[in-house]
């Protein structure tokens, strides 16, 4: 009887795992179909990227396509900025909120929003971080040009922003993805 119970318990947890894994996989596919798949960035590289951006205390940092929130959480924790992370994937936003809670990040300093980045209010940003595919960057570019205030820094990890060669102020040539810094 005990073996039957343990067997059924094992089956239950296996099914539960498969259900959560399937939901996670479907949401990743959804993210990919909407412009960019989730690809996490190494924490050491994040610190290097943000240090090179010269973030200022209390500046406003937005990560468009934040995934699990690691970039904005690093910016808030290490550089004392106010941050918002935006992603279309609700599962990744839940993970980002959970990570913020685990890391005891001040709720007033960081916020995560499940939203299409093309509909996000970016008007007050001092820094914008992107790790998006070129086709989504191309669709986002007019919004950046229209809504961002003068002197906003755009950090594009992985892909350059076509047509912004004159706005390029710095490039980190790291492999496999370089990082481009633009000033509006």
Position 34 pLDDT exceeds 70: no
Q: What is the pLDDT of residue 137?
A: 94
Tens of pLDDT along 80-107?
999 999 999 898 999 999 999 999 998 8
Residue 115 to residues 31, 34, 73, 121: CA-CA distances in angstroms? 11, 11, 18, 10
Position 33 pLDDT exceeds 90: no
Tens of pLDDT along 130-154?
999 899 999 999 999 999 999 999 9
- Write down the pTM of the prediction: 0.82
User: Where do the DSSP E strands lie in 5-151?
Assistant: 60-64, 82-87, 110-114, 127-130
Q: How far, in Å, CA of 144 to CA of 15, rounded? A: 44
Domain boundaries, the chain: 1-33, 43-183
Return the CATH number of the domain spanning residue range 43-183: 3.40.50.150
């Amino acid at each position: 009887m005990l073996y039957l119970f343990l067997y059924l318990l094992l089956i239950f947890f296996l099914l539960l795992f498969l259900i959560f894994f399937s939901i996670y996989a479907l949401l990743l596919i959804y993210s990919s179909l909407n412009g960019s798949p989730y690809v996490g960035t190494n924490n050491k590289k994040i610190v290097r990227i943000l240090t090179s951006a010269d973030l200022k205390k209390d500046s406003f940092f937005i990560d468009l396509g934040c995934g699990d929130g690691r970039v904005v959480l690093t910016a808030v924790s290490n550089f004392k900025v106010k941050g918002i992370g935006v992603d279309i994937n609700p599962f990744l936003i839940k993970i980002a909120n959970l990570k913020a809670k685990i890391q005891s990040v001040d709720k007033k300093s960081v916020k995560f929003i499940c939203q299409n980045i093309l509909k996000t209010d970016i008007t007050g940003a001092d820094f914008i971080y992107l790790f998006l595919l070129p086709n989504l960057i191309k669709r986002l570019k007019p919004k950046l040009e229209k809504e961002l205030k003068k002197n906003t820094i755009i950090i594009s990890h992985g892909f350059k922003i076509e047509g912004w060669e004159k706005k390029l102020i710095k490039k980190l040539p790291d492999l496999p993805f370089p990082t481009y810094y633009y000033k509006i």
